[in-house]
A and B are shown apart, each in its own frame.
Chain A
Amino acid sequence: MDVLPGVDARAPLLEVNDLHVEFRTGYGVAKAVNGANFWLSPGETLAILGESGCGKSVTAQAIMGILDTPPGYVTQGQIRYRGVDLLKLPEDQRRKVRANKIAMIFQDALSALNPVYTVGFQLGELFRKHRGMSRADARKRAIDLLDQVKIPAAKVRVNDYPHQFSGGMRQRVMIAMALALDPEVLIADEPTTALDVTVQAQIMGLLADLQRQRNMGLILITHDMGVVADVADRISVMYAGKVVEEAPVYDIYARPAHPYTRALLESIPRLDMKGQQLSVIRGLPPALTDIPKGCAFNPRCAYARDACRQDPPPPAYQVSVQPHRTARCHFFREVLGE
């Protein structure tokens, strides 16, 4: 692929700054992402964690540039790939970033694959359209890819349609498709949610292997804290469209700095808590058309005081410099137990 103008090899692989996304619907404006910040380095796994509707998938779609517009609009912020702001690129160049530099895998591979084309066609399409290969060469590459994601009898299965694969195999096809053009960043949006537990582990293992081989940056979007603990290097916790806490995975599990993270961790069932009442987070996440003033988490927060209910919302406080940690809570020291 031709080099993007302004690409700086020393700049961070991917950097999201103050990203705002809103959906303009007939019922009002839903503010799905309200200033998301994070960055990603090569070979690193960043987990974006949060409840449904907290803006994690929307953030991913904004990075890919595949938001449904209308109703979705990026209203503010930057998404920098190697120093180039993707949001400022003309559509034709933006399009070439997809799959070539940044690729994505989706949650439900059955609906995410086109039902009327064979897997080989859908994989080969990438080589034909981006690399100008012939049908025969593209087919060979498709078989290679299916081999790489460990689909047995790839030579035969390349002619099958998505519905002829099992759930796990289908997700492997999805992964093969995302990795086809050797992207530097892979965004996995809940890649294992639709699968049963044993298959989940296989898929996560495969993803980790492929990531290591290619030294690829991986953004793993999930609501499953168990998955995160196994594979992530760093975690960004999202709530109501903001990253409320950002920290290396070990630190966040040991000492959460934001009340929301803390509440999430306390709501994981544990073996040593057998027989005790499982703690839950009271209330519901706010409607995106009506986000509370101040800290968006304040109505559900055990630490909330008057300062939390007033604008401006808490900034991203630096919890520690080495390792880098931030938390959007006025009282993070209290939460840390200092």
Chain B
Amino acid sequence: MFRYIVRRLLQMVLTFFGATFLLYALVFANQKDPIQALVGERPVTESQRIALTQRYHLDEGFFMQYWYYMKGLLTGDFGTSLTGRKIVDMMADAWPVTLRLALIAIVIAATFSVTVGVYSALKRGGLFDNVSLVITLVLLAMPIVVIAPLFQLIFGIQLGWFPPTATRDATVWQLLLPAIVLACIVIAPEMRVTRTSVVENLRADYVRTARAKGLTRMRVIWVHVLRNSLIPVVTLIGVDLGGLMAGAIVTEHVFNIPGVGFNLARAIRTEDGPLVVGFVSILVILFLFINLLVDLLYAALDPRIRYE
């Protein structure tokens, strides 16, 4: 187990450098005149241009620039956004909001999809099962760019059940509607996987054994069927966290939530290179750790899986 984790961590280092390198290359290849982008509309004097070129190592070629950037990144210096703010400060503001949003979304999605998935598996072929299948298909067919404004319009503005936008320090109540929107993109697959997995396990031989042991139906389902069925679901929920981050870009933009997605969306629109690279680098790290965690969790849930 220990050796496995060490090996995975080493692989993660490689993946991290690969991903950030690609990202850095893409963002910077797109820039025409970074100095002009930095100062905005105002004219730049020759002496300013020389000073800035030296300060940002713009004359040293792409690889050296990447090197300087990584050196900063790994020592906690993310540099400065084109807006002049320290990127570290922006992150300190944005990350807690997004993490809270993602967490609420995950809780909503997991609770809903596991409950509905298990119930429709137990009542398979019935009305409930078929209705949930239709809902799944509708959710799958609607991309988040449609769901987000639609929900905002219906539940936020017309019905007025939820606040339609969030303020600077978004409360849980303000985050609820966006979290539901975010949950919508992962509910469909999670529900289907739960249902399939429970149906499969209900037919398993060990469930017959459990019944032959004279256990109650509740115990057979809650202890014997569910424990086995939820292994793939837990894995899926872990991986879905990545999908939620991508979804957060649209959702936070629509609901005006000052989180990671909101900042990223603005950074991409204003071609704020350092900001994009900074935020995405952290996303990459988060992704890698979640994947490792999911794999370890998998082994913890299923004793047949052992990592060497």
Contact between chains at A113 and B209 (CB < 8 Å): yes
Q: How large is the interface on B (under 10, 10 to 19, 20 to 34, 35 or more residues)?
A: 20 to 34
B77 CB contacts on chain A under 8 angstroms: none
Contact between chains at A104 and B212 (CB < 8 Å): yes
Known contacts A114-B228, A116-B228, A161-B303; A99 and B204 CB within 8 A of each other: no
Contact between chains at A97 and B214 (CB < 8 Å): yes
Instruction: Give A113 to B207 CA distance when docked, in angstroms.
Output: 8
Q: Does A115 contact B (CB under 8 A)?
A: yes
Known contacts A98-B214, A99-B214, A130-B214; A66 and B206 CB within 8 A of each other: no
Q: Does B86 contact A (CB under 8 A)?
A: no
A163 CB contacts on chain B under 8 angstroms: 303-304
Measured CB to CB, the closest approach of chain B to A100, in angstroms, equals: 6
B203 CB contacts on chain A under 8 angstroms: 68
A176 CB contacts on chain B under 8 angstroms: none
Which residue on B lies nearest to A161, using beta carbons? B303
**CB-contact partner of B219 in A68, A111, A129, under 8 A:** A129
Which residue on B lies nearest to A121, using beta carbons? B223
Which residue on B lies nearest to A130, using beta carbons? B214
Q: Does A106 contact B (CB under 8 A)?
A: yes
The 8 A CB mask of B282-308 against A (1 = contact, 0 = none) is: 000000000000000000011110000
B213 CB contacts on chain A under 8 angstroms: 98-99, 125-126, 177
Q: Does A103 contact B (CB under 8 A)?
A: yes
A115 CB contacts on chain B under 8 angstroms: 206, 228, 302-304
Residues of chain B in range 198-221 having any CB-CB distance to chain A below 8 Å = 203-206, 208-216, 219
Chain B interface helix/strand/loop/mixed? helix
**CB-contact partner of B215 in A64, A106, A129, under 8 A:** A129
A100 CB contacts on chain B under 8 angstroms: 214
A61 CB contacts on chain B under 8 angstroms: 208
Instruction: Give A76 to B214 CA distance when docked, in angstroms.
Output: 23
Instruction: Give A311 to B224 CA distance when docked, in angstroms.
Output: 47
Which residue on B lies nearest to A68, using beta carbons? B203
Q: Does B49 contact A (CB under 8 A)?
A: no
Q: Does A182 contact B (CB under 8 A)?
A: no
**CB-contact partner of A66 in B204, B212, B228, B303, under 8 A:** B212
Interface centre among A98, A100, A114, A126 (most CB of B within 10 A): A114
B209 CB contacts on chain A under 8 angstroms: 106, 112-114, 177
Instruction: Give A116 to B204 CA distance when docked, in angstroms.
Output: 13
Contact between chains at A66 and B211 (CB < 8 Å): yes
**CB-contact partner of A96 in B204, B212, B214, under 8 A:** B214
Which residue on B lies nearest to A103, using beta carbons? B212
The 8 A CB mask of A87-128 against B (1 = contact, 0 = none) is: 000000001111110011010100111111100000001100
Number of A positions contacting B (CB below 8 A): 28
**CB-contact partner of B205 in A99, A112, A126, under 8 A:** A112
B304 CB contacts on chain A under 8 angstroms: 115, 161, 163
Contact between chains at B205 and A111 (CB < 8 Å): yes
The 8 A CB mask of A296-320 against B (1 = contact, 0 = none) is: 0000000000000000000000000
Q: Does B123 contact A (CB under 8 A)?
A: no
Instruction: Give A126 to B219 CA distance when docked, in angstroms.
Output: 12
B303 CB contacts on chain A under 8 angstroms: 115-116, 161, 163
Contact between chains at A125 and B215 (CB < 8 Å): yes
Which residue on A lies nearest to B206, using beta carbons? A114
Residues of chain B in range 214-249 having any CB-CB distance to chain A below 8 Å = 214-216, 219, 224, 227-228, 231
Instruction: Give A116 to B301 CA distance when docked, in angstroms.
Output: 8
Which residue on B lies nearest to A163, using beta carbons? B304
Instruction: Give A97 to B212 CA distance when docked, in angstroms.
Output: 10
The 8 A CB mask of A167-179 against B (1 = contact, 0 = none) is: 0000000000100
Interface centre among B208, B209, B210, B227 (most CB of A within 10 A): B209
**CB-contact partner of A95 in B204, B208, B214, B231, under 8 A:** B214
Measured CB to CB, the closest approach of chain B to A14, in angstroms, equals: 16
A103 CB contacts on chain B under 8 angstroms: 212
Which residue on A lies nearest to B216, using beta carbons? A95
Known: A112-B206, A126-B213, A161-B304. 13 other contacts (CB 8 A): A64-B212, A97-B214, A98-B211, A99-B212, A99-B214, A106-B208, A106-B212, A111-B206, A112-B208, A117-B227, A129-B215, A177-B209, A177-B213
Could you give 6 example pairs across A and B, Cβ below 8 Å?
Answer: A61-B208, A97-B214, A99-B213, A99-B214, A113-B209, A129-B215
